[in-house]
Each structure stands twice: as C-alpha cells, then as structure tokens.
Amino acid sequence: MHSKNLTLKPSLLSLILVLSLGSLVLSGCQPKVEVPSYLHDYSEQYVDSPRAANLAWFQEAEFGLFLHYGLYAQLGMGEWVQLRQKIPVAEYAQLVDSFTAATFSPEQITETAISAGMKYITITSKHHDGFCLFKTNATDFNSINSPAGRDLIGELYEACEQKGLGLFLYYSYGADWKHPYFMSREDGWNNARPAYPEPQPEYKYEKPADFQIYIDFVHQQLTELLTQYPNIAGIWFDPIMGVYASHDKFPIDSTYALVRSLSPHALISFKQGANGDEDFMAPERSGKARVGKQFEISKIVYDKNKNKPREICTTLQPHAWGYNKSDDGKHRTPDEVMKMLADAKALNANLLLNIGPLPDGALPEEDIKTLIEVGKRRK
C-alpha cells in the first residue's frame, strides 16, 4: 500500500505546534534549551540566566588566545600598516587578490589553544582596514570573495563548538579605513583615516549625517555575526580611542541593545569601557586605563567598570598584534608567558595572549612551541 503525502495548511500546522507545546507544559516538561558547548558545566545556571552563566564561566576561564589576522599579514608590518604607510585605499584593496589563507587551520588553532590550557579564542572578524573574515552581505570586501573563498570565522566557530572552547569576535567599531561613510579625520579623530596626501575617491563622507550609513552597516554586520554564529561567547569592540574622540557620534546604547536582543548570553567588551554597560573590562598590556585630557571619558567609564571582571590582552610579539616579520625569533618565551599569567592572576584577571598568524594563516612555530611548553608547566 502506498501512503499519500499530506500537506498541512499553515494555520493547522500552527495549531498543532501550539497544542504540542501546551501538552509539554502541562506534563511538566519544558522545551530543551540548547546550551553552547563551552558552557556545558554551567547548564543549570544557563537555563535560569544565560548571561550570568556566561559571565561565571568567563571569570573562571583564566587564559585565552587572541588572533589578529587579515590582509595586513601579507605585508608583515603589523595591523596598522595601511595607516602608518599611508597606503592608498585602492592599492591596499589589491591585497585581496593574494589572500589565500591556505594554511589557516581551525584544527591547529584550537588544538594549540587547548594544549596551552586556554579556554577561549578571540579573533578579528573585522579590523580597522575593513576586511571581513566572515560571510557578509554588507560588503564584498571579505574572505569569501578572495582566493581563499572561505568563511574563516564560520570554520573556527565550528571547531570551537566541537571542542568546547568559547569564541569571542573582535569587531572594529571605532575605526574603518575602507567604509566610504566612516567619518573624516576632521570630523572624528586623527586615526579615523590614514593621513593621505591626496583625497581618496573611495571616501564619500561629506557631513556628520553621513555617518549613520556606517552605523547601519555595523548593525547589519553585528546581526549577521550573532545569527550566523549564535553560540559565540560575545563581541569584543575596538578601538576605544575613536569612540572617546567622537563619543557623541557613536550610538553605543543602541548598539549594545542590538547585541542583547539578538543573543541572551553574549558578553560585551569595549576595552576599559565605552558607556559602563560592558560585561567585563579588557585593557591592554598593563591592565591600566588610558588617561589624560583626550581620555577624560575613559576615566569616567573606567570608574563605572573598575569592579567588573577583567581581561588583560597582550602580545607574543614584542609589540605588534598583526604579524610583524622583523620580530621573527624575538617572540616572548615560556618564562615570560608564565610571568604574564601570574601577573594577571594577581589582578584577578584573565590573560588574553595574542598571536599574529603568518600571511598564509599558519601560527608561527615559535609561538606554538611556547604555548605547548606553557601548557605543560600549568598542569
């Protein structure tokens, strides 16, 4: 006997779903809550408060891996090379044509992190140059549209999910040297754009109202990140200086509200803080706030966040975050990393230790060896 295929009308299907859910409630059963793999040990708390569970996990994580990877790696002079060398927008964009990420390996990255005893990874989804390592409909300036043809964030996300590692996505909010409607140097801060000697035809910003086009772009991309990779641990915003210099132009409150509405558990960080509603602080290197006349807002927000969980981010290279070839062989040693961990622990802070992957996406061998040795010493 052959069974006939039945097509349910939408209204009938909806009624069946409602009745099914109702029966679960009446029987004392609740729909199963999907808990991100890295929060497995916090499942009960997650059901009551996803964000509180995530924050409790973060406070016990202690050690994370930071990755600064993008087009700039090919030039081997750090992540600020476009601004410092004043490379024209069109010329810099040509680096896409040689971006293969041929040896970018989520397996290698996650295994190295686990070997070191790290509990999470933070990676640049978009740095100041505007190049994106994820699938996005907001711009064609991304890794999918390069010879790599890969969603690098998506691949790393899946690897972290499989291995129980948290994944934070770094997002450059306060600077974008590619977007045509990011504010000019005159309307923002000195590093809003490279100090080009000639006008760049790609830049269309003319008046403050144009900046809303950039904000809409940011919110579109944040929506993409939080929906495509729903179990990420949080969003890590940067650079804080741009926001402090133009705090009246950035809608921090609505940006944070968007993140909160899309993800009930995602944590928010913006260095030492942008408006005081961050979940944790993430100051660079020394763990101290940046102060001074140009950072007056910084001090105010720092005071609001000073009792919140803290993460100190620093580098395995002497200074640069993105790959700097001139520092090959001069990276920090296991002894230095162990001291960094001890210093962070003394401040009751996590240590987020950065690697700048090589142009092809591989981790430098000296850093792999260091992290494996650190992992052995921590056991």
Torsion region of 51: left, alpha or beta (phi above 0 gives left; psi -120 to 50 gives alpha): alpha
* pLDDT computed for residue 97 by the predictor: 98
- Comparing 18 with 298, the larger pLDDT belongs to 298
Residue with tokens 């100041």: 128
Amino acid 144: pLDDT: 98
Total of domains in the chain? 1
CB 167 within 8 A of CB 121: yes
pLDDT band at 285 (very low <50, low <70, confident <90, very high): confident
The reply to whether 82 falls in a domain is yes
Domain that holds residue 66: 40-378
- Residue 18 domain flag: no
| pLDDT (0 to 100) of residue 21 | 41
Task: Compute how many other C-beta atoms are within 10 angstroms of the C-beta atom of residue 123.
Answer: 23
Dihedral (Cα; 146, 112, 286, 300), 10-degree rounding: 60
Average pLDDT over residues 119-123: 99
Contact 375, 116 (CB under 8 A): yes
Predicted confidence (pLDDT) at residue 187 exceeds the cutoff of 60: yes
In a domain, 78, yes or no: yes
- The CATH number covering residue 313 comes to 3.20.20.80
pLDDT at res. 303: 86
Tokens of residue 198, six digits: 């000639």
pLDDT, mean of residues 185-209: 95
Q: From the CA atom positions of the chain, what is the Rg in Å?
A: 22
Q: Report CA-CA distances (Å) from 178 to 59, 144, 175, 245, 354.
A: 36, 17, 9, 19, 24
Residue, of 17 and 83, whose pLDDT is higher:
83
- 3-class secondary structure, 86: coil
Of 146, 151, 145, the C-alpha closest to 133 is 151
Using 50, 70 and 90 to split pLDDT, how confident is the model at 302? Answer: confident
Q: In whole numbers, what is the pLDDT of the chain averaged over residues?
A: 91
Q: How confident is the model at residue 51 (pLDDT cuts 50, 70, 90)?
A: very high
Mean pLDDT of 159-170: 98
Q: What is the pTM of this model?
A: 0.90
Both tokens of 130, joined, read 């505007």
Give residue 16's pLDDT.
39
Tokens of 160: 């972290």
What letter would DSSP give residue 269? E
Q: What's the Cα-to-Cα distance from 121 to each of 220, 330, 357, rounded to whole Å?
A: 23, 23, 14
Q: Tokens 């686990």 appear where? A: 114
Is 7 contained in some domain? no
Q: Can you give the pLDDT at residue 297?
A: 63
First to last CA, the chain: 64
Q: What percent of the chain has pLDDT over 90?
A: 83
What is the pLDDT at residue 218?
A: 98
State what percent of residues in the chain have pLDDT above 70: 88
Name residues whose C-beta falls within 8 Å of residue 336's C-beta, 6 or more positions apart in sequence: none
Give CA–CA dist 40/349, Å, rounded.
Answer: 22
For residue 10, being part of any structural domain is answered with no
Confidence of residue 3 (pLDDT cuts 50, 70, 90): very low
Residue 271: pLDDT above 60? yes
pLDDT of residue 13 exceeding 80: no
Whether the pLDDT of residue 238 is over 60: the answer is: yes
Residue 60 lies in a domain: yes
Structural domain includes residue 119: yes
pLDDT score recorded for residue 298: 72
> How far is Cα 294 from Cα 8, in angstroms, rounded to an integer?
63
Asked whether residue 122 is assigned to any structural domain, the reply reads yes
pLDDT reported for residue 210: 97
State the DSSP code for 263. Answer: -
Tokens of 343: 């210093």
Closest CA to 136 of 154, 122, 156, 115: 154
pLDDT category at 214 given cuts 50, 70, 90 is: very high
Residue 195 is classified by DSSP as: -
Strands 310-315 vs 349-355: parallel, antiparallel or unpaired: parallel
Provide the strand spans (E) within the chain.
63-67, 120-126, 166-172, 234-238, 267-269, 310-315, 349-355
Question: Mind listing the pLDDT tens digit for each residue in 133-157?
Answer: 999 999 999 999 999 999 999 999 9
Among 208-212, 235-239, 244-248, 370-374, the minimum mean pLDDT is found in 244-248
Q: Mind listing the pLDDT tens digit for each residue in 306-349?
A: 899 999 999 999 999 999 999 999 999 999 999 999 999 999 99
**Across residues 71-90, what is the average pLDDT?**
98
* Residue 249: φ, ψ to 5°: -100, -15
